[in-house]
Amino acid sequence: MRKLFRKGERVRSKSDGRVMEVLRYLKNNIVEVMTFDLESKEVRKKQIKEDKLSRAA
């Protein structure tokens, strides 16, 4: 398994454009990411497929 992203790296979601931080890899292509919601001011964790992410500029 080749990992595209490293722990702590900033990535951008291709679907909604949010910037997230990589927490860890769960399975082959599933990544656990952390995002900050500005409206409710809370941290949220999601599990997203690696294909739906790109590097943040």
When divided into structural domains, the chain yields a total of: 1
Q: Kindly report, residue by residue over 18-49, the tens digit of the pLDDT.
A: 999 999 999 888 999 999 988 899 999 999 99
Residue 21 forms part of a structural domain: yes
Query: Is there a contact between 23 and 44 (Cβ–Cβ < 8 Å)?
Result: no
What is the mean predicted confidence (pLDDT) over 4-9? 92
What confidence score (pLDDT) does residue 13 get?
92
Distance CA 1, CA 21 (A): 20
pTM: 0.81
Whether the predicted pLDDT of 1 surpasses 90: no
Is 4 a domain residue? no
Q: Is 57 within a domain?
A: no
16 assigned to some structural domain: yes
